[in-house]
Every structure is written in C-alpha cells, then in structure tokens.
Chain A
Amino acid sequence: QKEVEQDPGPLSVPEGAIVSLNCTYSNSAFQYFMWYRQYSRKGPELLMYTYSSGNKEDGRFTAQVDKSSKYISLFIRDSQPSDSATYLCAMRGEYGNKLVFGAGTILRVKS
C-alpha cells in the first residue's frame, strides 16, 4: 500500500464547476500538507499548504485537512480552463525535509 493515495483521473468538468481533488494517507505522523499544480512539461508550483487539521482559503482555492480520517482535499471554485493541469498532493512529518507525493490527478476544465 502506498503511503499517499491519489486518484489519477483524468477529471473532466465544465467551466465554472466546483472541483474537488482528494488524497488519503496512512502515516499519522504527517503534519504538513501541500498541494502543487503542474502544467504540462513544467515543474510543479506550490499552490497551498496547511499545518495539521483545518481549512485554508486563497481566492478560488480551499485546502482542507482531516487528520482523524487521514484525508485531504483541494476545492477549486468557479473553475477555469487555465486550471487544467495535474494536481499533486504532498505531505511530510514534523521534522526533516522529505516530502511524500501522491501520483497526481489530471484535471481538465472544458470551456
């Protein structure tokens, strides 16, 4: 079993839809949770990060962490074609610099 599970998709939605992207994990020591966005043939860029449980909002993006269920989510409101990309979740424990990544979910927003 992988430490971090993420549905690879692709997930296709119409423009303006609310998108929900999710990851589950098995290591209860994870404390920092991140979402990266990766456009085709580019490197990932940090989109959101949260510490421990709770919600964090930034514009159209909301990151949610439920440590009791070992489940994290990224919500995108009013999705745009420019949101079409691969979304990678990543997480790490309290100490150290090693991140564990999910496999990524391909999102396609159709205009």
Chain B
Amino acid sequence: DGGITQSPKYLFRKEGQNVTLSCEQNLNHDAMYWYRQDPGQGLRLIYYSQIVNDFQKGDIAEGYSVSREKKESFPLTVTSAQKNPTAFYLCASSILGQGASPLHFGNGTRLTVT
C-alpha cells in the first residue's frame, strides 16, 4: 500500500538537544512538506520541497532544518534554537504542479521536550 510513514510516533528529548524526525513516502510524489500542529492553531508550514536537493522555508522555519537527498525521504531536524519545540509534527506529500492536488499526510510524530 502506498503511503507516508513517520517515525517515531512519540519522541522525548531534553532541552538543548537536536532531534531528527523521519518521513518516508512511496507514493512517487515530487512535493513533500512538514507541518507543525498546536492546539487551536491549525497546521503551520515549516518547510517544503518540490524536488530533490531543493527546499524552501515555510511560515515558521526558524529553529528547524531539512534535507531532501532522495525523492522518498524528507527528514526534519528540530534544533536547540527552536524555542517551543513540543508539538505534533506532520509530514505530507503531493503531486507537483496540480492546483487541486490534495496533500497526503502521515500519522505524525509527537515530540515532547523537557
């Protein structure tokens, strides 16, 4: 079955540590995205990538970094510079270039930093 796999489902880290969230898709989609979801705020775009080896900042990129070395993979690193890293992180993908192309989401990683 095609889909998006995010791992781990739950992640706990101490303040000051960098942490990397994994996202893999086998939908053959060109575009991939990272969103952050906080209660009452909806989904906010962190980074997105439309092609391998290229990515753009979203609305809240500060304190995060990404890479896109393979079409299937788009890992997100939450750095120690991110002031409020505790959140639910969602990875998504879509077919590039179609205005009505829906996003397909993974089941998220809940990150807790103490």
The answer to whether A44 touches B99, judged by C-beta atoms less than 8 angstroms apart, is no
Is the CB of A32 closer than 8 A to any CB of chain B? Answer: yes
Please, what's the 1-or-0 string for A60-86, where 1 marks a CB less than 8 Å from any CB in chain B?
000000000000000000000000000
Residues of chain A lying within 8 A (CB to CB) of residue B110: 41
**In chain B between 73 and 114, which residues have their CB closer than 8 angstroms to a CB of chain A?**
90, 92, 94, 96, 99-108, 110
Given A41-B108, A45-B105, answer yes or no on A98-B45 (Cβ-Cβ < 8 Å).
Answer: yes
Say how far B103's CB is from chain A's closest CB, in angstroms.
Answer: 6
Inter-chain contacts of B66 with A (CB < 8 A) = none
Confirm or deny: A110 has a beta carbon within 8 angstroms of a beta carbon on chain B: no
Q: Which residues of B2-40 have CB atoms within 8 Å of chain A's CB atoms?
A: 4, 6, 31, 33, 40
A17 an interface residue at 8 Å Cβ cutoff? no
The B interface is mostly helix, strand or loop, or mixed, namely strand
- Band of interface residues on B: 20 to 34
A8 at interface (Cβ–Cβ under 8 A)? yes
A88, B43: Cβ atoms closer than 8 Å: yes
Rounded to whole angstroms, the CA-CA distance of A8 and B106 in the bound complex is 23
Which A residues touch B6, using CB under 8 A? 43
Contacts of B94 in A (CB 8 A): 97
- B41 contacts partner chain A, Cβ-Cβ < 8 Å: yes
Residue in B4, B48, B104 whose CB lies within 8 Å of A98: B48
A57 contacts chain B at the CB level, 8 A cutoff: no
* A44-B5 Cα distance, complex, nearest whole Å: 14
Contact A104 B105 (CB under 8 A): no
